[in-house]
Amino acid sequence: MADGFTEGASRRDLLKTGALAGGLMLSFSVAGKTDAAPAAEAKLNAYVSLTPDNKVTIVSKNPEIGQGIKTSLPMIIAEEFDVDWAQVTTKQADGDPATYGRQFAGGSMATPLHWDELRRVGAAGRAMIVAAAAQTWNVPVAECTTALGVVYHKASGKKATYGSLAAKAATLPAPDLKTVPLKDAKDYKILGRFMPQVDSAGLVTGKPLFGIDVVVPGMLYATFDKAPVFGAKVASADLAAAKAVKGVRHAFIVEGGTELSGLLPGVAVVADSWWQAHKAREKLNIQWAEHPTSKQSTTDYDAQALALSKAAPLRTERNDGDVAAGMKAASKTVEAAYSYPFIAHAALEPMNCTAAFKDGKLEIWAPTQNPEPGRQLVAKTLGMDPAAISLHMTRCGGGFGRRLANDYMVEAAWIAKQAGAPVKLVWSREDDLRHDFYRPGGYHFLSGGVDASGAVTAWRDHFVSFGNDGKFASSAGMSQNEFPARFVPNFRYDLSLIPTGVPTGPLRAPGSNALSFVMQSFIDELAHAAGADPVAFRLKLLGDGAMVGTPGQSGYAADRMRGVVKLAAEKAGWGKTKLPKGTGMGIAFHFSHMGYFAEVVQATVAADGAVKVDKVWVAADVGRQIINPAGGINQVQGSVLDGLSAALGQLITIENGAAVQGNFGDYPLMRIADAPPVEVHFLITDNPPTGLGEPALPPAPPALCNAIFAATGKRIRSLPINTEALKSV
């Protein structure tokens, strides 16, 4: 899958590309004269420039979707550049892979990909400033020190601001990034501090920072109707009726193609205001052509899954030891069927994009997580040279993986070209929920055995997922190493696939966001079957070893996981707190995106079945350095609540080949009254820092379901949680 950041192979490729396209290849343009920047501004490299008054501008290369990257990546550079954070202004880069390498927000990859590279970029900048000072004062470089954007020469008492040295520094050769010296972490003055995000002031005063806020002179507003059945063609539409609405300038059918992530068939309305276009849509009376997938439904998927579970699998993905023998050796065996639904991303800023086509050139303003593939898609669809397309990345009102696809971008580009005017396309919420790349549903038919010592002797999963032609649909896969693979001697993973016409794609912690629910819930069932404490049972399952598998993408540091399991249990007072009737604690852990997370949820189930989450404790190991606790803790808390929100209420139902839910009335998101306190503890270990945008999510749903079991004795095996079934009156 083109967008599959998560499947093992493409993730590895990504790492490779990242390393190649990283700072080691950065061109250190010797600044200034040919540059468009004001003459007074000296540019030290592609990221750092300064003015004589010692103001520093640092470019943030990646899209900002709320993960705080526009703050955290510049912090890394600023630390090694050794300036005062108050001197720094950050600037959003345009889509410019020739300068910045790959620019995207996905896979929680920005920290691991840039931690080394951007520190070196900052350090190289500092070295150039110091060299300029040493030359100016005619002293050895080694005698110069820096602090807060000032260079000092102690012996002579000389000092100078970076800004005053910048013009000279920019003419000096850039040092070798590979060998430039880096700070000791104990000397950090920016990294690890609580730094409110750089757009904070703008956000709280309503500045137009988002894609939906873009205004271009002469701009018109567009809506785009697509078929409820994904990819169906337009049979007819009453364009004249739409054009008769006041303010409407154009209404036309877009032929479109068949690729679900590209330009699909639909009807565009372009008007003087968005409301006019939106009202005119109602007059279109569109008839959609029949489509091969128009009979698909959730009910039918469920029936197919059950039938497949009883048949021989399509294939066996992993088979260790002898599961039948392992079951025989067990003192207790458990069988259970788990399932989870399709869900939507529901970023709060609806999909939108602004495009202007003029003299064979296209300018695009897009809230996208994945700019370059968007540019390529637009170029291909419109038959243009990618070089004729310029792309500005705006702030995104949430991403969650939705904006890795660029369907709305190619729609805006197409409509702008045909309308012959700059156009801002804005989707309605209904467009957004009914035309997503959904987190795919899935079914797991599990059996497992435990022996008298509390060890898992056998595990079998018949995973029924979605996919066509024997291949997983995007983000519908499960790795052969998915935990507890490699921790259970007799382990088998069988696979069957249901064909689907529903577009699917990565949603925050793809794969993991659903698989953790299944695995950590079933592990809990086995713990209870063994009569063991769920924490002790998990620690035993994790074993005594350290790294299982090869370090890197597929390795699993069992010792790091044991560390966070113990920490979460300790902080929650596991086994020590006397809880009232109807209240219980559950634990779950998960490794994803190179982060080790364990979470304890305390929940109370009322007599009417209503679930209240009382509190969540998170223990996280993402290595030796939290870059920005302000954004980092926010990401962890948000991810946990995101996971709970999905578990408590989210579901996209497919009927007649289309998504049923259309707005927040039938697709409920967590609201403040349901949000528990989330206590976050970082376990600092001597490992490279990794990302925080996703890995806190996966343990939250199973920890909640395990807490519900502790509170009620009722096991949740299907999401979202059915509170009816939890009623005790």
Q: Which is nearer to other proteins, 144 or 198 (CB)?
A: 198
Dihedral (Cα; 558, 561, 565, 571), 10-degree rounding: 140
Question: Closest distance between ligand FES and the C-beta of residue 223, in Å?
Answer: 16
Output the residue with the shortest Cβ distance to ligand FES. 348
Q: What distance in Å separates the CA atoms of residue 474 and residue 7, rounded to the nearest whole number?
A: 9
Q: HSE, CB side, 13 Å, CA atoms: give it for residue 97.
A: 16
Q: What distance in Å separates the CA atoms of residue 343 and residue 442, rounded to the nearest whole number?
A: 11
212: DSSP letter: G
Q: To which residue do tokens 């909640």 refer?
A: 704
Q: Which is nearer to other proteins, 428 or 554 (CB)?
A: 428
Q: Which is nearer to ligand FES, 192 or 398 (CB)?
A: 398
Question: Closest distance between ligand FES and the C-beta of residue 643, in Å?
Answer: 16
Q: What distance in Å separates the CA atoms of residue 678 and residue 617, rounded to the nearest whole number?
A: 6
* Residue 283: contacted member of other proteins, ligand FES, none (CB under 5 to 8 Å, by partner type): none
* Residue 671: contacted member of other proteins, ligand FES, none (CB under 5 to 8 Å, by partner type): other proteins
Helix (H) or strand (E) holding 288: strand 287-288
Helix (H) or strand (E) holding 253: strand 248-254
* Residue 328: contacted member of ligand FES, other proteins, none (CB under 5 to 8 Å, by partner type): none
Q: To which residue do tokens 């064909």 refer?
A: 499
148: DSSP letter: T
Q: Which is nearer to other proteins, 543 or 629 (CB)?
A: 629
Q: Which is nearer to other proteins, 86 or 672 (CB)?
A: 672
Amino acid in position 271: A
Amino acid in position 61: K
* Residue 311: contacted member of other proteins, ligand FES, none (CB under 5 to 8 Å, by partner type): none
Q: Which is nearer to other proteins, 212 or 464 (CB)?
A: 212
Q: Which is nearer to ligand FES, 153 or 395 (CB)?
A: 395
Q: Which is nearer to ligand FES, 399 or 441 (CB)?
A: 399
Residues near ligand FES (CB under 6 A):
66, 348, 398
Q: Which is nearer to ligand FES, 9 or 204 (CB)?
A: 204
Question: Closest distance between other proteins and the C-beta of residue 672, in Å?
Answer: 5
Q: What distance in Å separates the CA atoms of residue 184 and residue 181, rounded to the nearest whole number?
A: 10
Q: What distance in Å separates the CA atoms of residue 554 and residue 561, rounded to the nearest whole number?
A: 14
HEC string of 308-344?
HHHCCCCEEEEEECCHHHHHHHCCEEEEEEEEECEEC
Dihedral (Cα; 684, 685, 687, 691), 10-degree rounding: -30
Question: Closest distance between ligand FES and the C-beta of residue 625, in Å?
Answer: 25
Radius of gyration of the chain from its Cα atoms, rounded to whole angstroms: 27
Secondary structure E strands in 593-649: 595-605, 611-621
Residues near other proteins (CB under 8 A):
65-68, 194-197, 199-201, 203-210, 212-213, 215, 221, 246-247, 273-276, 279, 346-350, 395-400, 426, 428-429, 630-631, 634-635, 637-638, 641-642, 645, 663-665, 669-673, 675, 677-679
* Residue 607: contacted member of other proteins, ligand FES, none (CB under 5 to 8 Å, by partner type): none
Question: Closest distance between ligand FES and the C-beta of residue 465, in Å?
Answer: 30
Question: Closest distance between other proteins and the C-beta of residue 349, in Å?
Answer: 5
Which residue in 703, 670, 527 sits closest to 598, CA to CA? 703
Question: Closest distance between other proteins and the C-beta of residue 448, in Å?
Answer: 33
Q: What distance in Å separates the CA atoms of residue 599 and residue 281, rounded to the nearest whole number?
A: 47
* Residue 577: contacted member of other proteins, ligand FES, none (CB under 5 to 8 Å, by partner type): none
Q: To which residue do tokens 């793809």 refer?
A: 510
* Residue 207: contacted member of other proteins, ligand FES, none (CB under 5 to 8 Å, by partner type): other proteins
Query: What burial class does residue 559 get, using C-beta atoms within 10 Å of its C-beta: 0-12 exposed, 13-18 middle, 19+ buried?
Result: middle
* Residue 669: contacted member of other proteins, ligand FES, none (CB under 5 to 8 Å, by partner type): other proteins
350: DSSP letter: -
- The packing angle between helices 629-649 and 700-712, to 10°, is 50
Question: Closest distance between other proteins and the C-beta of residue 638, in Å?
Answer: 5
**Maximum Cα–Cα distance across the chain:** 86
Question: Closest distance between ligand FES and the C-beta of residue 638, in Å?
Answer: 8
* Residue 39: contacted member of ligand FES, other proteins, none (CB under 5 to 8 Å, by partner type): none
* Residue 235: contacted member of other proteins, ligand FES, none (CB under 5 to 8 Å, by partner type): none
Alpha carbon 489 to chain centroid distance?
A: 33
Q: Which is nearer to other proteins, 177 or 396 (CB)?
A: 396
Q: What distance in Å separates the CA atoms of residue 199 and residue 70, rounded to the nearest whole number?
A: 8
Q: Which is nearer to ligand FES, 348 or 546 (CB)?
A: 348
Question: Closest distance between ligand FES and the C-beta of residue 108, in Å?
Answer: 17
Question: Closest distance between ligand FES and the C-beta of residue 147, in Å?
Answer: 35
Question: Closest distance between ligand FES and the C-beta of residue 397, in Å?
Answer: 6
Query: What burial class does residue 267 get, using C-beta atoms within 10 Å of its C-beta: 0-12 exposed, 13-18 middle, 19+ buried?
Result: buried
Strands 48-50 and 42-43: antiparallel
Q: Which is nearer to ligand FES, 327 or 675 (CB)?
A: 675
Q: What distance in Å separates the CA atoms of residue 236 and residue 228, rounded to the nearest whole number?
A: 15
Q: Which is nearer to other proteins, 400 or 445 (CB)?
A: 400
* Residue 295: contacted member of ligand FES, other proteins, none (CB under 5 to 8 Å, by partner type): none
* Residue 68: contacted member of ligand FES, other proteins, none (CB under 5 to 8 Å, by partner type): other proteins
Q: To which residue do tokens 């990565």 refer?
A: 506
Question: Closest distance between other proteins and the C-beta of residue 642, in Å?
Answer: 6
